[in-house]
Chains A and B, each alone.
Chain A
Amino acid sequence: MTYPVSFLAVLFFVVIVALVLGLSFYFARKTKTASGYFAAGGTIHWGVNGIAFAGDYLSAASFLGICGMIAFSGYDGFLYSIGYLAGWIVALFVVAEPLKRLGKYTFTDALDSKFNSKGIQLMAAISTLIVSICYLIPQMVGAGALIKPLLGLEHYVGVLIVGTVVIIIVSTAGMTSTTYVQFIKGGLLIVFSTVLTIYLITGGLNKKPSENYKDFLTINATLDGGSFTLDSSEYKVAGKVKAKDNDFVKLEKEGIRTWWKVNQVNGSYQLEEALSKTVKSDETILYNGAPASEGKFYQVGHFSKLVKNGKEVDSTGGLNPFSILSVIEESEIVRFTKTSLKDEGNNVTIWYQNPTPGKTIMRPGLKFKVDKGSDFWSKLNFISLMLALFFGTASLPHILIRYYTVPSQRDARKSTIVAIVGIGFFYILTLYMGLGAMTHGVLDLSSSNMSAPLLAKYFGIGLFSIISAIAFATVLGTVSGLIVASSGAIAHDLMDRFMNLKMTEKQKVRAGKIAALVIGTIAIILGILFKGMNVSFLVGWAFAVAASANLPAILMLLFWKKTTAKGIAASIFVGIVSALSIILISPDMFARYGFDKASSPISLSQPGIISIPLAFITLIVVSLMTQKKKEIAK
């Protein structure tokens, strides 16, 4: 789909970038020590840190990804919101204060605080880098994907802008500037998502989303000797293809070919208009039979039945936060189901209408196989995912380092609560924004990530411009945090601690800045190389690896006195290797390699349910085998 460039969006984005760069240069003059660079000198106010937590945590995956998933798959997308938020309970009740007490700049410091072990320093730094890179790639690719529709620039320009701005933010004032970037972004995201949700709820729901919403046509047909005869003289049949359980016909009108789904109703046939994307053998792409510039790939999402208080209506009028969910549940919404087929050597993707009861949309089962068509493995996959989300948050290095930016354990605790309030409130809004996009005729079927910004556009170009600029700033905040975490892993954990380079304060700061530059440059290269690939699954990898590698080590260090350094190092190693191995040989990855899913040696795609217990067992066994008086955590 093509989007006209909003100059207001460009203006808002330039203002945000200018603001964060100005702050970075202002704080740069005050950043002279390693403590200042890696931990903002431990002087950040808990309230600022709490919102900065939200800015750090609410990545593009949270804002664009979850809203998009809800818009396309209903309640199942909201399960991510619940899992991501629940993870903060582990951070608050178990991890926050001890980690603040034990660490200095990185979470490796905390793990190693009782041992001074090379094994822990190396393994924890490697774990930090793997988790951060897995998280970085989707953010950078997301920046490139966002910049075209939002600001009208090419993919590589988006990646370069984000990479360059973030390198400047991190290499000027390190954690101080990163904190304020995340604070601004987190605050703006929560405020304007609230504004968007208020517009949505008070505006109510309409059966026809807008005056110029596409009317999808239906043509009656009869089947004669295997070919269709149409009731309409405007169209002629140009082909017929079967895809999975459905038949599709290709109709031609004024030289443009479109795809229609064949429905059998009471013994007669009806052809129902669908949307399509055709990639021809010469790489040209047609949307509904025409180039993208002709705008024939319509935005979609509407009610087939809009029911309020048991009666079908055309419009509900203003609603409240509860009644809007109730109306959606009573109604029937037209979702669009995707299928692929080959036609005359061309690859065709078809999205056909799939009227779905609100009751089905508002409960689990459309994305996760826990209901129809489910089996033991699909249910285990779901449990494993929810486990990784629960335990992953409190193990993400770029989140954990925020505990070193506040003065005390009390501040660490309070900032976590502010984060839970801000993030929890935002995640409640995701359900409204996602369902709003689903029912307001704004969905771009070729990109679910655009759902929230396009919903904002429904309510006016001003709101769209602000939300778009914030979406782009979202990437800045999260990437800054990831680069600070990676920079700390390289300069502090590896160079200073593991290699024992005995650097002065000034040298440590310089090493941190150079590490930020290197990681930032790698992030730019990866962001450009992975262009066009759907790499959002890498965020799932980051959570699974973090939960498997880091959480068992943190928990056992805190609560099991027999934990040894070798036990922690072995546990991190086994956590990383087992989580990554299961992911790499999983059915989902086999499908990405182009193989049949069934040929995968395992039936599990989410590793947490195996790799997390395995890391715990490794830590216990190795610790028991390596009990020495000196090494045991006191």
Chain B
Amino acid sequence: MQHGEAVKMGKDNAEKVKSKVGLILFAIYSFIYAGFVFINTLSPKTMGVKVILGLNLAVFYGFGLIILAIVMGILYNHYCTKMENKMNSSEEEEN
């Protein structure tokens, strides 16, 4: 039986470039997340150091990871949309 996609989707020429950028951003975030986990594990007292606006490193880094996820997500979407519009519309024009 057919077991393809739920809805018909056209070919996406930007797929490779989006995937590459996605993996790079994933690697960057993973590195920063790993840093957070290792400081918490190996030097929890460092997390108590005051950083900015009266916040300690634990809260600053924790909030930072959440906000970074949002910012990276928005930038990634902006880039992907731009590439999709560029690479998919150029093919349509050629056709």
Contacts and interface: CB of A to CB of B under 8 A. Distances in A.
A94 B65 CA distance: 18
Contact of A104 (B6, B65, B70): B6
Contacts of B15: 97, 101
Interface string A73-115: 0010011011001101110111001101111110001001100
B59 A86 contact: no
A326 B9 contact: no
A149 interface: no
Contacts of B65: 82, 85-86
Contacts of A386: 37
Interface in B14-50: 15, 18-19, 22-23, 25-26, 29-30, 33, 36-38, 40-42, 44-45, 47-48
A35 interface: yes
A94 B81 contact: no
Given A82-B36, A112-B3, A326-B55, A420 B70 contact: yes
A93 B26 contact: yes
Interface in B43-71: 44-45, 47-48, 53-56, 58-59, 62-63, 65-67, 69-70
Select the residue from A88, A93, A414 with max chain B CB neighbours within 10 A: A93
A187 interface: no
B76 A103 contact: no
A390 interface: yes
B87 interface: no
A323 B44 contact: no
Interface stretch (A208-216, A221-229, A403-411, A461-469): A403-411
A546 B54 CA distance: 38
A410 B69 contact: no
A94 B22 contact: yes
B89 interface: no
A85 B48 CA distance: 22
B56 A408 contact: no
What is the interface of chain A mostly: helix, strand, loop, or mixed?
Answer: helix
A334 B94 CA distance: 71
A437 interface: no
A364 B56 CA distance: 11
A113 B54 contact: no
A594 B35 CA distance: 37
A362 B56 contact: yes
Nearest to B80: A413
Interface stretch (A156-164, A251-259, A424-432, A522-530): A424-432
A569 interface: no
Majority SS at the chain B contact face: helix
A371 interface: yes
B12 interface: yes
Contacts of B74: 417
Contacts of B76: 92-93, 413, 417
A293 interface: no
Contact of B5 (A103, A410, A417): A103
Contacts of B38: 383
Contacts of A109: 3
Contacts of A363: 44-45, 47-48, 56, 58
B19 to A, nearest CB: 8
A105 B2 CA distance: 12
Contact of B67 (A359, A408, A410, A424): A424
Nearest to A422: B70
B41 to A, nearest CB: 5
A98 B5 CA distance: 11
B90 interface: no
A272 interface: no
Contacts of A116: 3
Contact of B62 (A35, A82, A90): A82
Contacts of A420: 69-70, 73
B73 A94 contact: no
B6 A42 contact: yes
Interface string A376-411: 000100110011001000000000000010011110
A242 B51 CA distance: 43
B41 A370 contact: yes
Contact of B66 (A42, A390, A409, A424): A424
A421 interface: yes
B4 A97 contact: no
A417 B54 contact: no
Contacts of A409: 9, 12
B9 A408 contact: yes
A56 interface: no
A297 B48 CA distance: 34
Given A409-B12, A420-B69, A325 B55 contact: yes
Nearest to A379: B41
Nearest to A497: B3
Contacts of A390: 30, 33
A364 B44 contact: yes
A329 interface: yes
A410 B84 CA distance: 9
10 contacts: A85-B66, A92-B76, A93-B26, A104-B6, A364-B44, A364-B58, A371-B44, A420-B73, A421-B73, A497-B1
Q: Which 6 A-B pairs have the closest CB atoms?
A: A326-B54, A42-B7, A93-B22, A93-B26, A363-B48, A417-B73
Interface of A: 35, 39, 41-43, 75, 78-79, 81-82, 85-86, 88-90, 92-94, 97-98, 100-105, 109, 112-113, 116, 322-323, 325-326, 329, 359, 362-365, 368, 370-371, 379, 382-383, 386-387, 390, 404, 407-410, 413-414, 416-417, 420-421, 424, 427-428, 431, 496-497, 502
Given A82-B62, A89-B30, A362-B58, 19 more contacts: A85-B69, A86-B65, A89-B72, A90-B26, A92-B22, A93-B22, A101-B15, A109-B3, A112-B3, A322-B55, A329-B56, A382-B40, A408-B9, A409-B12, A410-B84, A416-B73, A417-B70, A417-B77, A428-B66
